[in-house]
Structure 1
Amino acid sequence: MSVAVLVPWRPDGGPRQAVWACVRARWEAIHPGWEIVTGACPDGPWSKGAAVADALQQTTADVLIVADADVWSVGTPFAVEEIRTGRARWAMPHQLVRRLTPEATQAVLAGAAMSGQPTQETHPGTPGGGLVVLHRDVLEGVPLDPAFTGWGQEDQAWALALETLAGPMWRGGSDLFHLWHPPAARRSRAVGSAESLARYRRYQAASGQTAQMRALVAEFCPTPLEGSPMTYRYRNANTGDEVEYRHRNARLEMLPNWSRIAAPQPVKTRSEPEKTEPKTPAPPAQDPPSSSPPQEPSARDSKGVWVEYATSRAQDSDEVAEIAALTKAELIDRYGTTP
């Protein structure tokens, strides 16, 4: 399946410009086979939902990564694999968000690794925020609500809609690094505006209620998913038995004789005709020049720094998975070039 990174983006001529140039360089260097698409929204108040919808129209990729322009996670390939194999319909690679300091961000912009950099704060990642991986059908049937404008609440609302209509989220254990830039205008640390909060309350009321959530999504999406939540399915290699759960079963995932398999595909839930011809991608937006990929660490750097550097040189997801099991000495031996 083809993969595209959809980035909602509006140039500001300030620090965000340099941050996106750095992040884009990493996407290009580490995942050269993935398409990168920037999406814009009309002039006026910023709408992440409108920008993501614009990016979606520019690609025909099957697996979509909706990523903010200021974040990075080495666990993204694992989330992509969950979607590609059908084991999940939407996924996030990270548990924690590590917000770098301005000084640490400048070091990263100059080529330093993100791991080990000083942070302003570390907190659990908000479901639906930062970086989300999902199949094209899911994004087309449960898009981000464009009615949220400015900063705040659109990610949380999206997560409630996805959970209700597309089923449980797969979540990896990696970190999400957030590069510093001046914060957007907002009502408070947690609330963007009174209007966004009121709209989010509607999603909270519809959470878990398929018909009510479909009616809410139908306000801006002509073909919302009907709602056939996906289950987590496991097979016993010794007996052939298969079981299903609404959520991940941590015990079975630790046992060597049990493995996760793709759940049966849900019945087609959207009535639009099959596409007969691919869409013609729009010309890519002109973005600032890319910065260089991470520089090789020294032997004094931590294993985490070496893991990030090795991941930046990996050729595919299998190599990325192998990197996590290597010792620091093995990482230096395999990926280091400096005597």
Structure 2
Amino acid sequence: MPWRPSSDRLPLWDWVRARWAAEFPDWPVLTGGCPDGAWSKGTAVADALTRTSARTVIVADADVWTPGTSAAVDEVLAGRARWAMPHALVRRLTPDATLAVLDGAPLDGQPTVETHQGMPGGGLVVVARDVLDGVPMDPAFTGWGQEDSAWALALTTLAGPMWRGTADLTHLWHPPALRRSRSVGSPESLARFRRYVAASGRPDEMRRLVAEFCPTPLEGSPTVYSYRNANTGDEVEYEQPNARLEMLPNWTRIAEPAPEPEPVERPAKSASKDAWLEYARSLAEESDLEGLTKDQLIDRYGKEN
């Protein structure tokens, strides 16, 4: 979570953090920040990523909640999408409703200032780590505005279309950030966003833009949407979701083949038990590996062949 403490947002963060801990106690929640001065969401996200090696990452604002997160995570884990958003609509609570929620009132059914279609790339995004490493959020966007939309264009162009759920995302109220208008953060951010619009759908140009702040822009072709006919076994591919096939019961969206894992080099006998465990897991799917001693692991998996 990109996060910079402030008196008006601390109560929201306390509530959101407690909700994550209650709903997903095994998921580590990391915050990332940026140096004093102009706020950069991209810098904050990159900062948090330095403290995790997770293969699937949720990038979430610190003032939102949606019950659809698990479904979006499942889509990315299954390989049916390389990035996903669980929500369709954003419900922005009123100040009084937000106070009521912080005092323990249920989130559902609270009055809103407005409800609108969620912007791609904003609020909460689930993304495969290799995609995030190759298509990070641009740190050059500072202040409020345009960084989420630019990121969505880059992800779509280089990683493929997002999977989108139908859940609502609730946004807790706080005083709005400084901005030029409700849609534009600053002239500088707008100008940079227009570069993303120009590169949208053009992978080579988008890679050159991403390369300005990322040493390893995502290579390869964007993900396609693949479908299989349960009656005939026929398979077809589309660059975008096919609304007709999504609705037909005899067509099912299928996952991409999982990438081949990187080979793990056989460690020296003097290496740690953890190194031998990692090596053993690369060769076998046995459930009792944790119970083996280092000597037993070496005896079972340490042969040259």
The reply to whether residue 11 of structure 1 matches residue 5 of structure 2 is: yes
In the TM superposition, what is the alpha-carbon distance from 1:112 to its structure 2 partner?
Answer: 1.6
Q: 1:210 touches 1:227 (CA, 8 Å); kept in 2? A: no
Unaligned runs of 5+ in 1: 1-6, 278-339
SS in 2 for 1:39: coil
**Cα separation, partners in 2 of 1:209 and 1:274, compared to 1, 3 Å:** farther
Matches within 5 A, 1:1-339: 7-12=1-6, 14-265=7-258
In the TM superposition, what is the alpha-carbon distance from 1:126 to its structure 2 partner?
Answer: 0.7
In the TM superposition, what is the alpha-carbon distance from 1:265 to its structure 2 partner?
Answer: 5.0
Q: Segments of 4+ in structure 1 off by > 4 A? A: 265-268, 273-277
SS in 2 for 1:38: coil
Looking at structure 1, the residues matched to 263 and 160 of structure 2 have their Cα atoms a distance apart, in angstroms, of 23
Larger Rg: 2
Looking at structure 2, the residues matched to 19 and 237 of structure 1 have their Cα atoms a distance apart, in angstroms, of 47
Q: 1:164 touches 1:227 (CA, 8 Å); kept in 2? A: no
Looking at structure 2, the residues matched to 250 and 65 of structure 1 have their Cα atoms a distance apart, in angstroms, of 26
What TM-score do you get using the length of structure 2 for normalisation?
A: 0.83
Looking at structure 1, the residues matched to 229 and 143 of structure 2 have their Cα atoms a distance apart, in angstroms, of 48
Looking at structure 2, the residues matched to 10 and 275 of structure 1 have their Cα atoms a distance apart, in angstroms, of 39
Identity %: 71
SS in 1 for 2:31: strand
State the one-letter code of the partner of 1:133.
Answer: V
What TM-score do you get using the length of structure 1 for normalisation?
A: 0.75
In the TM superposition, what is the alpha-carbon distance from 1:244 to its structure 2 partner?
Answer: 1.4
Tell me what 1:319 maps to.
none
Looking at structure 2, the residues matched to 208 and 246 of structure 1 have their Cα atoms a distance apart, in angstroms, of 11
Bigger RCO of structures 1 and 2 (CA < 8 A, at least 6 apart): 1
Looking at structure 2, the residues matched to 8 and 275 of structure 1 have their Cα atoms a distance apart, in angstroms, of 33
State the one-letter code of the partner of 1:77.
Answer: S
In the TM superposition, what is the alpha-carbon distance from 1:38 to its structure 2 partner?
Answer: 0.4
Residues 20-70 of structure 1: per-residue CA shift (max 9 Å, x gap) = 110111111011121100001111110000000001111111111100000
Looking at structure 2, the residues matched to 168 and 274 of structure 1 have their Cα atoms a distance apart, in angstroms, of 29
**Cα separation, partners in 2 of 1:102 and 1:42, compared to 1, 3 Å:** same
Looking at structure 2, the residues matched to 17 and 275 of structure 1 have their Cα atoms a distance apart, in angstroms, of 44
SS in 2 for 1:165: helix
SS in 1 for 2:169: strand
Residues 86-145 of structure 1: per-residue CA shift (max 9 Å, x gap) = 000011111111100001101111122211100000111111111111000010000000
